[in-house]
Amino acid sequence: MKRGTDLSGKMQGNLQAREVLQMLQDYPIREYPEEEIVDPKDKKKKDDKTKKKKRKKEPPFPLPDWALELDAVKRQIQLVTQLQKNAKELELD
């Protein structure tokens, strides 16, 4: 009975770890625009930048349902750290 309980706990932990890993892999990667280096001594570049057209607004970054609330994200982070601590017991790769 004890061995069965241990195996059941390991299986549940392993399944949780796989679910969390899949959620993190599905999370889209954010791409940030490169920052332009501004030289304060060069006045020509300042004039060119003021003449540039305004860019269209980009749509907001799509967040998964589980990441909409900060508390939910914190819970997922705590779960990941707990699973990492128990990685040997759960036989995670």
Sign of CA dihedral 70, 72, 73, 75: positive
Q: What's the rounded Cα separation, in Å, for the pair 11 and 55?
A: 51
93, two tokens = 């790769």
pTM comes to 0.54
Question: Can you give the pLDDT at residue 51?
Answer: 55
Tell me which residue has tokens 């589980």: 66
Question: Can you give the pLDDT at residue 1?
Answer: 92
Which whole number is the average pLDDT over 81-88?
Answer: 84
pLDDT score of 47 more than 70: no
